[in-house]
Structure formats: structure tokens, C-alpha cells
Structure 1
Amino acid sequence: MSIKKTIFLVLILNGIFLSLFIRNNKQSKIHLHNFARIIKQELTEPEIKYQNRIPSFVENIYKYFVYLFSTDHENLPAINHIRNFKILSNTNTEFYTLYQEIFTEKLYYFDLKNEKPFIVDCGSNIGMSILFFKLLYPNSEILGFEPSNINFNLLKKNIENNKLDNTKIFKKALSNKIESLKLYGTGTPLGSIISDNPHNRSNYEIIETDLLSNYINKKVDLLKIDTEGAETLIIEDLDSKNKLNFIDKIIMEYHHFTTQNKLSNLLSILEKNNFAYQICSDQHPPMENRLAQHFFIYAYKK
């Protein structure tokens, strides 16, 4: 059967199964609809060789039917297979969100001439970004940082289960000084040392911060930063130690909080260190006063 016919069959069967077996559970319908979209994405992704699509496809179809006939969709184990990677996650919702951003929208995609790039990943979460980088550059050397206990344990398992070489991870938050802090929203993709939301202040763990400048002593092909508000602190540390000279490209998810307005500081540091940059946002009018906003900054040496 051709790829197009297989995709058509998957989508048709998904609609039939949802209408027959899951009529009243809206959350379960969303979950299985998202899962069918992943099956489609994995079948059509041009970067994947055809023969390498089959194992993931078979595994995902099997899992789809396990979910379909389960009576407890909320507590099913969140194990997902994509691109021949086996990925453990906290929840299925978390997996779909990260998959959409990293593998579908390719927000961390970059093109390098170096086939063995050195990549530093600040805010590795459960490791989806590291897996994406390894998919692009299998011979890359990667340093990953993740402060949350829950996320770090999954990150470690995902690296071990997928036998990733030249990958080191550190259970550290990154800042511009070494200290103990509260990490709010621990165990989620939104864990942050900054909390503008009073409802998140009861959910925290004590973490240790470190300086990224202590880990950078050679050329970095890509610095990826997604640290839910600590971006400026990290860049300030690198600037104070003259370590931005080692960095070629930066992909940063910048988080703006109402209590900290430091975008101008961050951009001035990049400009001072001879970086050009592009800012990408999905914000649309009408604009509202929000507790937090985020957008991407893509910076590169001139």
C-alpha cells in the first residue's frame, strides 16, 4: 500500500473509531486525534528513510489501539515512539506539545556545515530537543542542563534508552550566580525560577544554580536556551566572562514577565558581542496585558 493510501486509511479509521468508541470523552478524542496526526507526520516526514518509518508506524498503530480500547485514558503510560526513538514523558499532553514545537514546527532547526557540531542545550526538559539535534546531526556533541528532578530523571532515561553518544547532562539551573533557588512549576515544561502566577508558588522544589560560563571553553556551534525567564541572566554571565566569543548561533525562547522587563538589556549584550538577530512571535492583536509572553530570538555572528 502506498504512503498516501496508508495516511488516508489512518485518518478515516481514526474518525470512525472516535465516533464509535469514544463519544462523550472530549479529552480522549483530542488525545487520539493528536496521536493520529503524529502517525501521519511520521509517515510523511521526508527526512526519514522509508524503511525506517515502518517500526515506528507499527509501534504507534499498536499503541493507538491500546489507547482506543482502554477505559482509563488519563492514566495510561506516556511512552511514545517517533523516528525510531523511544520517548518517556510526564504526560501525553506534554509529549504532544513538545512534539508539535520541536518535530513538526521545527523551532530548533538549524543548518551547519560542521557535521560534528558542539551543541549546548539549556533547559533540556525530558530531552526532546536533544533527540531532535541528534536526528539532525548524529555525530554531534551535546551538553544538556535541566534542574527539575522529575524532568531530569526522564531526560536521563531517554538518553540511555536511545543510546545517545557524546551527550552529557547536568541537573543544574543556569543563572548569573551560584545559589539555591525555588523552581516553580516543577515537573512541567514551564518550570521557572520566576513566578508571576501566585497559583504556582506552592508547587516548587529547591534547586542549585550554576554558571554556563564554567562549561564553555571551546567553539559552540549552537546555544539553545529555553529556561522560562532565566535567559537574560545566562547571557549576562557569558558576557561577563567573555564566553559569547565562543558561540556561533543562538536559538532562544525569550520569556517576558511583568516583574522583569530585560529584553533591551539582552539585545544590547548581543549587539555588543557582534550578533545579528531575528525575533519571531506568534502574538496577534488585540494585544492584552498578560502575566507572561514568549517569543523566539535567533541570533548569529555577523
Structure 2
Amino acid sequence: MEITLIKKAGIRQKNKKMNIVIKFLRKWAKLIDRVYMLLIIARLRLFLKNKPRFSLSHVRVLGYNIFLNDPRSFYFEFIHIFKNEIYGFHSEKERPYIIDGGGFIGASCLYFKKKYPKANILVFEPDNNALFILRKNIEANKLDNVTVVEMGLFDKEGEISFLPDNTDGGKIDTGGMHKIKVTRLSNYINSEIDFLKLNIEGAELNVFEDLDQNDKFKYIRGLCIEYHSFKRQKQNLDKILSILTKNNFRYYISNFENSPKGNFKSDENTQFYLLVYAKNIAV
């Protein structure tokens, strides 16, 4: 009996030491990953800094061949998506189903495929200039199971005015000179969605109201939307959050900036963006 207890104590001591070693190695692995990413960003910045804005360029990074149409906007997009992992989510599935609303040139799609190589991704993008590069990036990197819908997301079917800006900030606007096709996201959701990402430049509430009216939130496990508060436009974040609460989602709001707008000095000319993360607690 005494020998057995001594053996068990020895095993526990070994396990404790092993756990300490594992924790130490994990910390070092994370540190190495951070340093590696900082080196990549420094290299990327050096490569892109002399590239003229709104010019077609190409860069090889993280094993990807990436075509881009604006070096400056891609640089910040890369930091947000690949370094800060603003679209990071956890799934036990080998093939999670992801909807990417506002795919632009495909940076978010490339990130999802880096994280889940066998993921099925449905991408919506209405801007013809972005679509050309999006398809090049999908083909150049041989991405499987990626479907592109050449339409924007709204609360109706048809055409609507669009104001492109040659970055990821093109938006639906009554003063826009271009016309794009739009569709309802509810038409595409009839089974479980592991992650919904929306960066649709101000059409968030329109899409949310469509999903709510058609009882589609029950299929969505988790989501991240970029909320846009544009100059001289009425804010509607409260309505978006109310829809999430109504549909059994717990949400978290994050700011892109290191510090928020201070002392409540914001006025109608202040423009800002927020990330809203939410998880369906009913599934």
C-alpha cells in the first residue's frame, strides 16, 4: 500500500513537471509567432511603401500569392485580419461553413482558408474591380470550396446605386454613379452557418432585419460584423444589438483603435467603425 502511494506521488510529480514544461513551450511558441508576424509586417511595409496608391500590385506573403489594387489599404487590412485576427473564431469542425459578406479582394477568405483549409466559404462581393482581383486570388492560391456571388447584400432583390472608392470602403449610396445587383442573405441560409462575417459598409441593419424577419438567425452559430457610423447619418447600433438579443445572441463590441473617442466629444461629423462579435447561446 505504501509503495503504491509513493509510486502515485512520483507520477503526479512527473506530470506536474511535464505540465510546467508544456506551458513554457507554449509561451515560447506564441512569442516566436508574434516575432515572426512582426517581421512579416515590417517586410510588407517596406515592400509596399513606395507603391503608388490604387495601383495593381502583387506580393507573396504567408505562402500566398496575393494580388491587390491599393497597397496602402491592403497593408492595414493585413494587420487587422492576419496579425490581429479580427475574424478569428473556433470550430471543432474540419469543414466549417463560412459566409463572407463583403469579400473585397479576398484577404478575409485567405485568412479563413489559412485557419481552416477545408472550409466551405460563400463570398458576396458586388464591386467589379474588386471581383476581378478576388477571383485572381482564389485561382492563384488554388482555393477549393469557395463560391463567389457577384452581388451585394441588402434587404431586397434588384439593383441599387453604389459608390466605389477602389479600397474596401465602397458602399451603397443614393449618390453613387454605379449600379450593382443586390440580394437578400436570407435566400442563402437554410442550414447551419458556423461563422458569418459582414463588412458591408452601412447595410448591416438592412441585412439583420431581413434575417430576423425570415427567422434565419437560428442557423447562425457565431458572427462578426463591422458596424459603420458614417458622418451625418443616424446611428442604428441599438437596433442591431436588439435584434441580436432577441435571437439569443451574446455580443461583445470592440474598437479598432487603441483608445475610444474621448470625453463624448463626437458630433455628427465624427465617423468611426466598431466590430461586433456575437455567439448564439441557444445552439
- TM-score, normalized by length of structure 2? 0.78
Instruction: Measure, in 2, the Cα distance between the counterparts of 1:244 and 1:275.
Output: 9
Aligned residue in 2 for 1:272: 246
What is the aligned length? 242
> Over residues 51-89 of structure 1, what are the superposed CA-to-partner deviations in whole Å (9 max), with x where a residue is unaligned?
xx9xx99xx79x968x89xxx842774111111111111
Where 2:279 maps in the other structure, the secondary structure is: strand
Note if contact 1:255-1:293 (Cα within 8 Å) is conserved in structure 2: yes
Is 1:135 matched up with 2:108?
Answer: no
Instruction: Measure, in 2, the Cα distance between the counterparts of 1:288 and 1:297.
Output: 20
- Measure how far apart 1:288 and its partner are: 2.6
> Over residues 127-171 of structure 1, what are the superposed CA-to-partner deviations in whole Å (9 max), with x where a residue is unaligned?
000000000000100000011110111111110111100000111
Is 1:261 matched up with 2:243?
Answer: no
Deviates more, 1:222-231 or 1:288-297: 288-297
Note if contact 2:51-2:71 (Cα within 8 Å) is conserved in structure 1: no
Instruction: Measure, in 2, the Cα distance between the counterparts of 1:41 and 1:89.
Output: 25
* Residue correspondence of structure 1 range 212-223 to structure 2 within 5 A: 212-223=185-196
Query: 1:185/1:291 Cα in 2 relative to 1: closer, same or farther (>3 Å)?
Result: farther
* 1:80 maps to which of 59, 72, 85: 59
Instruction: Measure, in 2, the Cα distance between the counterparts of 1:238 and 1:220.
Output: 13
- Measure how far apart 1:172 and its partner are: 0.5
Note if contact 1:134-1:140 (Cα within 8 Å) is conserved in structure 2: yes
Aligned residue in 2 for 1:180: 159
* Residue correspondence of structure 1 range 186-225 to structure 2 within 5 A: 186-194=165-173, 201=175, 204-225=177-198
* 1:44 maps to which of 15, 36, 40: 36
- Measure how far apart 1:298 and its partner are: 0.4
Aligned residue in 2 for 1:94: 73
* Residue correspondence of structure 1 range 280-299 to structure 2 within 5 A: 280-281=254-255, 282=257, 283-286=260-263, 287-289=265-267, 290-299=269-278
Instruction: Measure, in 2, the Cα distance between the counterparts of 1:155 and 1:141.
Output: 16
Is 1:145 matched up with 2:137?
Answer: no
Query: 1:42/1:275 Cα in 2 relative to 1: closer, same or farther (>3 Å)?
Result: closer
Instruction: Measure, in 2, the Cα distance between the counterparts of 1:166 and 1:228.
Output: 26
Is 1:123 matched up with 2:102?
Answer: yes
> Over residues 209-245 of structure 1, what are the superposed CA-to-partner deviations in whole Å (9 max), with x where a residue is unaligned?
1011111111000000000100111111111111111
Instruction: Measure, in 1, the Cα distance between the counterparts of 2:189 and 2:107.
Output: 22
Deviates more, 1:226-235 or 1:276-285: 276-285
Q: Which residues of structure 1 form unaligned runs of 5+?
A: 1-39, 47-52, 196-200
Is 1:252 matched up with 2:225?
Answer: yes
Instruction: Measure, in 1, the Cα distance between the counterparts of 2:229 and 2:276.
Output: 12
Q: Which residues of structure 2 form unaligned runs of 5+?
A: 1-31
Return the letter of the residue paired with 1:230: A
> Over residues 91-143 of structure 1, what are the superposed CA-to-partner deviations in whole Å (9 max), with x where a residue is unaligned?
21122021111111111111111121000000001000000000000010000
Instruction: Measure, in 2, the Cα distance between the counterparts of 1:300 and 1:263.
Output: 17
Aligned residue in 2 for 1:33: none
Query: 1:148/1:291 Cα in 2 relative to 1: closer, same or farther (>3 Å)?
Result: farther
Aligned residue in 2 for 1:26: none
- TM-score, normalized by length of structure 1? 0.73
Note if contact 2:208-2:240 (Cα within 8 Å) is conserved in structure 1: yes
Query: 1:261/1:82 Cα in 2 relative to 1: closer, same or farther (>3 Å)?
Result: same
* Residue correspondence of structure 1 range 220-239 to structure 2 within 5 A: 220-239=193-212
Query: 1:86/1:176 Cα in 2 relative to 1: closer, same or farther (>3 Å)?
Result: same
